[in-house]
Structure 1
Amino acid sequence: MSATTHTAPTTSTSRLDRAVTAMEAAGVRALLIGPGADLRHLIGYDTHPLERMTLLVAAADGNHLLVVPELERARAEAAGVGVPVHGFGETDDPFALVAAHLDGGRADEAIGVGDQLWARFVLGLQDAMPGATWTPASAVTRQVRMAKTPEEVAGLRAAGRAIDAVHAQVPGLLRPGRTEDEVGRDIAEAMLAAGHDAIDFVIVGSGPNGASPHHETSDRVIQAGDAVVVDIGGPVDGWFSDCTRCYVVGEEPEGYAEAYAVLKAAQQAAVDHVRPGVTAESVDRAARQVITDAGYGEAFIHRTGHGIGLEVHEEPYIVEGNDLVLTEGMTFSIEPGIYLEGRFGMRLEDIVAVTADGVERLNAADHDRVMVPLNP
């Protein structure tokens, strides 16, 4: 997946308030959050990570602070981040500034460090606060981000509609003689035209390339009789789309129809299983059992899904061993796959949202394999 800057969704101080509540419950005194999805989520500030540190100090006592290089202070203030902004000069020590704000850190209360904060900054902060206890910030931020508000689900629903519109155009792009790269470029253009802020990934796996789940694209020429996996996604107003559909150019390969029927049944079984109170791993089992019973168990080589929101991959992860209980507002992919090396692959992916009493699919593109005629 590419590293791109995305539009920051509209935010409110309620997210910081929810983070404070989660910090108090976890015994975390402060969160130290650098550029990335957590920063965008908590205060709506979107910026690139640079060699000069940008850091949100979100404190359990409400004494929040955004530390930025002085040359970016005006930009941060103009963004309306809702917390005081402190700029530091080229010769100032930003680590000492943060330590002073937190009274040097206390051993009896943990400080949560952003999971994606660069190591050079983490080490500098630890040197400045040697008595502090450190923990991953995700212990708190995952609680705030996993269960989406109705407005946040609406953002993902809009992203789902945008990517569905792109998949509707894919059959017109697939024909013998075109390369995966060529099709991928056309899909990327269609994604931008459909309202995506950026292209995060485009996978066009034709023929045997479809058996590599993260193949992306290549100069392979699409041929008659190829099965093609198309997995595409990117942000729409900051909220990610991610949808996979399967296409067949001309006559389908031997055994493809039978395997696809199993795949479709497995995805439906997992979707039907989703509701508040079940565990993430039980959704994985629902899909995997169908595929295993049909004799394709060893060909399903990845988890059933991943959370999605401000990042294309975030918690909750739908995988064996994750006993997290699902609650209303959680959003994630359901994407079982079957991969037969040297022959073809297939994956069927929708984004779903847990509702008060069940589940909502956020993608409506056709779930059948799409047969692309050779002479449309």
Structure 2
Amino acid sequence: MNVPAELLAQRLRRASEEAARHDVDLLVVTPGTDLRYLLGIETSTHERLTCLVLAAAGHRAPPALVVPRLEAPGMADLPLDELGVELVTWTDSDDPYLLVSDLAGVPSRMAVVDSMAARHVFGLRDRLPGVGQTLAGPVLAELRMRKDSAEVAELRKAAAAIDRVHARMGELLRPGRTEAQVGADIADAIVAEGHTEAAFVIVGSGPNGASPHHDLSDRVIKPGDVVVVDIGGPLRTGYNSDCTRTYAVGAEPAGDVREIYQVLQAAQEAACQAVRPGATAESIDAAARHIITSAGFGEQFVHRTGHGIGLDVHEEPYIVGGNALELTEGMAFSVEPGIYLDGQWGARIEDIMVVTGDGGERLNGRPRDLVVL
């Protein structure tokens, strides 16, 4: 997604204002999803310092993008002039941290992005010894967790793409195949259906499904196995998908699997229906957890109900007990309760939700029933 310069300008202005609201004088943003959000730069961090230096509202220092001179040609397509951002280059014989110090003016409190490499954190601390350091996460989360219409459109595309992968489980997930074999085919399908990569592929069959973050193994999938398939990845624009469905493979599952699964399905539906502006993040978690706990499986629901999603697969807001954050229009997050019976099987249902003006919209559309493949 080529972000229009006017939208980037708005994001920079809001970040500056939010920094001031958090009593931060200066934001220093190294490569990663925060920098991609603010300037549209898709690059990775390395030993040479690249960073956006952005003063809080009320400070006179103009914004600057500090880059090694050898990286400057890669910035040619950025609308830096339109944004009023100065491009400042340095060579290997320069001290880039001293350069940032010169640009920073006289701040008393500086916020660095949460993912900044330690070598850069300490380099800045050495050159700005009297300046307190804090994390920029709380500042930038205020912007990033409320998606604009273009971001929601990208998340909708990502959800449709991963839905198409789940629609292919009948051909991929079969008895006699190992989890690793199925996972490799799913990874290929994720790319074929429009993602740039498979960011994660979980295929948890039988007892492995009771481990929420099980990856892949050489276990052979057997008839009647319950299998948790949690998959996702980024589109070219950087926006991510994440969707979980639980399947029975080759035969009807034994025992009380369907009865317990119906509890999970009711919990996920209740949580999705509870999404609306003004509801709290913890109330969505409680809507799912109450049903599962009332049915006697509270100890088997071992994780939060959801996480925000956007340029990162996991970002704010987090849908978890104790988070009193009020939901507002544009927030996007997963709703994914699970029940995990150690040594037996597990199940999870996950959809991405977006808060609308009067409720919530599910972006994923695949059936949520326990399907026998």
Which range, TM-score by smaller chain?
over 0.9
**Structure 1 residues 78-134: Cα deviation after superposition (integer angstroms, max 9, x where no partner):** 34454222111011100000000012x433xx2111000011111110111111122
The alpha-carbon deviation at position 199 of structure 1 amounts to 1.2
1:33 to 12, 29, 34: 29
Q: Distance in 2 between matches of 1:225 and 1:268?
A: 25
> Helix, strand or coil: the match of 2:197?
coil
Aligned residue in 1 for 2:97: 95
Aligned residue in 1 for 2:283: 282
**Structure 1 residues 162-187: Cα deviation after superposition (integer angstroms, max 9, x where no partner):** 00011000121111111111111111
Aligned residue in 2 for 1:3: none
Verify: 1:227 aligned to 2:223, yes or no: no
The alpha-carbon deviation at position 285 of structure 1 amounts to 0.6
Q: Distance in 1 between matches of 2:152 and 2:101?
A: 37
Q: Distance in 2 between matches of 1:207 and 1:306?
A: 26
> Helix, strand or coil: the match of 2:66?
strand
> Helix, strand or coil: the match of 1:78?
coil
The alpha-carbon deviation at position 77 of structure 1 amounts to 2.7
Q: Distance in 2 between matches of 1:221 and 1:336?
A: 26
Q: 2:165·2:189 contact (CA, 8 Å) conserved in 1? A: yes
Alignment gaps of 5+ in structure 1: 1-6
Q: 1:9·1:238 contact (CA, 8 Å) conserved in 2? A: no
Q: Distance in 1 between matches of 2:274 and 2:172?
A: 35
Kindly provide the amino acid, as one letter, of the partner of residue 86 in structure 1. Answer: V
Q: Distance in 1 between matches of 2:301 and 2:127?
A: 47
Q: Distance in 1 between matches of 2:312 and 2:41?
A: 15
> Helix, strand or coil: the match of 2:25?
strand
**Structure 1 residues 158-217: Cα deviation after superposition (integer angstroms, max 9, x where no partner):** 100000011000121111111111111111111111100111000001111101111111
Q: How many residues align?
A: 363
> Helix, strand or coil: the match of 1:306?
strand
Aligned residue in 2 for 1:85: 87
> Helix, strand or coil: the match of 2:330?
coil
Alignment of 1:119-138 (within 5 A): 119-138=118-137
Q: Distance in 1 between matches of 2:366 and 2:264?
A: 16
Kindly provide the amino acid, as one letter, of the partner of residue 282 in structure 2. Answer: E
The alpha-carbon deviation at position 369 of structure 1 amounts to 1.1
Q: 2:230·2:242 contact (CA, 8 Å) conserved in 1? A: yes
Alignment of 1:153-168 (within 5 A): 153-168=152-167
Aligned residue in 1 for 2:365: 364
Q: 1:8·1:40 contact (CA, 8 Å) conserved in 2? A: no
Q: 2:32·2:115 contact (CA, 8 Å) conserved in 1? A: yes
Alignment of 1:178-217 (within 5 A): 178-217=177-216
The alpha-carbon deviation at position 12 of structure 1 amounts to 2.5
The alpha-carbon deviation at position 41 of structure 1 amounts to 0.3
Q: Distance in 2 between matches of 1:253 and 1:145?
A: 44
> Helix, strand or coil: the match of 2:76?
helix
Q: Distance in 1 between matches of 2:269 and 2:91?
A: 56
Aligned residue in 2 for 1:57: 53
The alpha-carbon deviation at position 222 of structure 1 amounts to 0.7
Q: Distance in 1 between matches of 2:216 and 2:96?
A: 43
Aligned residue in 2 for 1:307: 308
The alpha-carbon deviation at position 24 of structure 1 amounts to 2.4
TM-score (norm: length of structure 1): 0.94
Q: 2:26·2:107 contact (CA, 8 Å) conserved in 1? A: no
Deviates more, 1:14-23 or 1:299-308: 14-23
The alpha-carbon deviation at position 8 of structure 1 amounts to 7.5
**Structure 1 residues 306-332: Cα deviation after superposition (integer angstroms, max 9, x where no partner):** 000000000000011111111110000
The alpha-carbon deviation at position 335 of structure 1 amounts to 0.2
Aligned residue in 2 for 1:241: 241
> Helix, strand or coil: the match of 2:110?
strand
Q: 1:242·1:312 contact (CA, 8 Å) conserved in 2? A: yes
The alpha-carbon deviation at position 9 of structure 1 amounts to 6.0
Alignment of 1:138-153 (within 5 A): 138-153=137-152
> Helix, strand or coil: the match of 1:41?
helix
Q: Distance in 1 between matches of 2:269 and 2:2?
A: 33
Aligned residue in 2 for 1:354: 355
Q: Distance in 1 between matches of 2:211 and 2:25?
A: 44
Kindly provide the amino acid, as one letter, of the partner of residue 345 in structure 2. Answer: F
Q: 1:36·1:46 contact (CA, 8 Å) conserved in 2? A: yes
Aligned residue in 2 for 1:4: none
Q: Distance in 2 between matches of 1:265 and 1:176?
A: 28
> Helix, strand or coil: the match of 1:235?
coil
Q: Distance in 2 between matches of 1:106 and 1:36?
A: 24
Q: Distance in 2 between matches of 1:264 and 1:9?
A: 38
Q: 1:31·1:137 contact (CA, 8 Å) conserved in 2? A: yes
Aligned residue in 1 for 2:72: 73
Kindly provide the amino acid, as one letter, of the partner of residue 147 in structure 2. Answer: K
Verify: 1:43 aligned to 2:43, yes or no: no
